[in-house]
Structure 1
């Protein structure tokens, strides 16, 4: 089922169906803009829409311009000021200004390039769509390109000084938690709020039960087998919570063979010291061992399970955003 996260896919579907499609993108904001840079709205030839560029403040005007763009095939660069009253209506304290690029698919936004973007998103490959707001030229770049790398890493679309807008399309963030212990309960819930797709791994069915973790994705595989199936990528964090070397160590070793951006392990300094002894005895290189965050979480004096979960998610966020 289509969702507000599938805007490029919806626009391409409408175009291929011969209905006509326009993609509107927030390329720049000032002040307390209702929607962040990179937000998109798809408009069909018959006026249907999916997504949002302002939370409702300027959608009507954007749809009118989209209709005109379908008629003449030319893109539009629109600037809107969102008043304080309008901002308050969508939950903001004050107004701001947004610039929206409106592109009809086909005449302005090449359908073939849009299809490449959709394919990359389906394959969960990080990719950036670039458009020059003056010339209308488009490019599709991966994380190996210096121009796109920094913005993909920071998850932040934006307009460059040379007139190129870089729209970030990253695969979802994921969190793999090994150990269905009490800390995992608030950690999974917090992670989902922060935009992660969490998966819980624990072969002990009594621990990882649906009653204890309602609605969660739970794998009862052995941790190394589960990580092999899940294939952590550069937008995946792995956290071990069991305290049991038979469960934690295989997960850590499996995480080492992946590009996971974060590996965190619960345990006291003494417990972690024993963990390091085991890993070194197993021949793990020091550069791999240095990837472990342990004792897991930022040192904020956390005591309760929820506070510890908060410290873990904060450290994961720090690692993701600051590197």
Structure 2
């Protein structure tokens, strides 16, 4: 790999930006693609970015090896609640780095969340350091607007690939009004999954966690089906 291409790739990885190295076969000429729009291999590159898998593709009568470099997905949750206790180990098991944010120290304890990146602080203090990005899923689970609302706004501003919030449709309607007043656009608010999780009739905290994780994975692996 040419040094300038390697430097460009390292810069993309350091900033948690996805990229694909396209290698011509058998010649070996290489290029780095971060935005596949308009690329001759756009469909193939988008598929590699979606799956995170590398491999040989054939198109236009030629062959290329696509090496996908995709940031590891993260999940940030506000609310050290029962749902989070079930969700955190499930999400970690499928490859998400999980962080839970809750300033309520009675809930945010290492005994309740062993081995979890637990931040017992307010979101406006913690989230800048966590650097939310398009490879982060965000879930608001506290039912407390003082905690959830600023975090939801930060997740929308950062372009998180999934943004979901616990609560009924009535609760979410009021939440939309508050977030709109805080500067969130209608387009951004339409991205919030609320009520959170797939509609599977979940009742217990563990079942709700399953519904949330399934919706998150679908949003990660099928980005073409994400809400506009």
TM range (shorter): 0.7 to 0.9
Q: 1:117 aligns to what?
A: 9
Q: 1:178 aligns to what?
A: 78
Offset of 1:232 from its aligned partner?
1.0
Q: Distance in 1 between matches of 2:154 and 2:9?
A: 31
Q: Give TM-score scaled by structure 1 length.
A: 0.62
Q: Distance in 2 between matches of 1:268 and 1:224?
A: 25
Q: 1:59 aligns to what?
A: none
Contact 1:142-1:149 within 8 A present in 2 as well: no
Offset of 1:111 from its aligned partner?
5.8
**CA RMSD between the two structures:** 1.9
- Higher relative contact order at CA 8 Å, sep ≥6: structure 1 or structure 2? 2
Q: 2:221 aligns to what?
A: 321
Q: Distance in 2 between matches of 1:121 and 1:174?
A: 15
Q: 1:156 aligns to what?
A: 53
**Could you report, residue by residue, the CA deviation over 1:150-200 in whole angstroms, capped at 9, with x for unpaired residues?**
422342323221201111011110100000000001111111111111111
Q: 2:186 aligns to what?
A: 286
Q: Give TM-score scaled by structure 2 length.
A: 0.86
Q: Give unmatched runs, 5+ long, in structure 1.
A: 1-108
Do structure 1's residue 201 and structure 2's residue 94 form an aligned pair? no
Higher helix share: 2
Contact 2:197-2:215 within 8 A present in 1 as well: yes
Tell me which structure has the larger Cα radius of gyration. Answer: 1
Offset of 1:269 from its aligned partner?
2.1
Q: Distance in 1 between matches of 2:63 and 2:101?
A: 46
Deviation >6 Å, runs of 4+: none
User: Is the alpha carbon distance of 1:218 and 1:322 closer, same or farther for their aligned partners in structure 2, counting shifts above 3 Å?
Assistant: same
Offset of 1:116 from its aligned partner?
4.4
Offset of 1:115 from its aligned partner?
5.2
Contact 1:178-1:240 within 8 A present in 2 as well: yes
Offset of 1:219 from its aligned partner?
1.2
Q: Distance in 2 between matches of 1:224 and 1:149?
A: 34
Offset of 1:133 from its aligned partner?
2.3
User: Is the alpha carbon distance of 1:259 and 1:284 closer, same or farther for their aligned partners in structure 2, counting shifts above 3 Å?
Assistant: closer
Do structure 1's residue 211 and structure 2's residue 103 form an aligned pair? no
Do structure 1's residue 136 and structure 2's residue 1 form an aligned pair? no
Q: 2:65 aligns to what?
A: 165
- Report which stretch shifted further, 224-233 or 276-285: 276-285
**Could you report, residue by residue, the CA deviation over 1:109-145 in whole angstroms, capped at 9, with x for unpaired residues?**
4466445434533342311122122112222221355
Offset of 1:289 from its aligned partner?
0.9
- Report which stretch shifted further, 281-290 or 143-152: 143-152
Q: 1:267 aligns to what?
A: 167
Q: Distance in 2 between matches of 1:259 and 1:280?
A: 16
